[in-house]
Amino acid sequence: MQIYGLKTCDTCRKALKALPQAEFVDVRADGVPQGIMNKAQSTFGDALLNTRSTTWRGLDDATRAQPQADLLAAHPALMKRPLIVDGDAIYLGWTPDTRAALGVTD
């Protein structure tokens, strides 16, 4: 299992604490493998892009108009997090549904 996120993200820290067996991948330092990013984009579509982030608010309109794949490649902090890959399953966010699917109890 891999958790893709930012080491400074509180939500990612919560996920990692609840899933200590998972491998953490910092998207700023290491990025997300193209195959996983493609699967995430096809699974979550526009929900993968965090338009409430500080990074998003700092972008101009021309940059925001770029294709999602290009935006996420250039600005990995724009990805909603954490992105959790468990075998063939992929989850976005540390929501109650994600926790239930992964067998995490509060």
The per-residue pLDDT for range 66-97, each reduced to its tens digit, is 999 899 989 988 999 999 999 999 999 999 99
Active site residue 9: yes
Strand partners, 98: none
Topology of the domain covering 2-101: Glutaredoxin (3.40.30)
Distance CA 73, CA 93 (A): 19
The backbone torsions φ and ψ at residue 59, rounded to the nearest 5 degrees and listed phi first, read: -90, 145
Distance CA 79, CA 55 (A): 10
The per-residue pLDDT for range 8-51, each reduced to its tens digit, is 999 999 999 999 999 999 999 998 999 999 999 999 999 999 99
Question: 105 falls in which pLDDT band (50, 70, 90)?
Answer: confident
Q: Given 3, 5, 9, 101, which residue is catalytic?
A: 9
Is the confidence at residue 106, as pLDDT, over 80? no
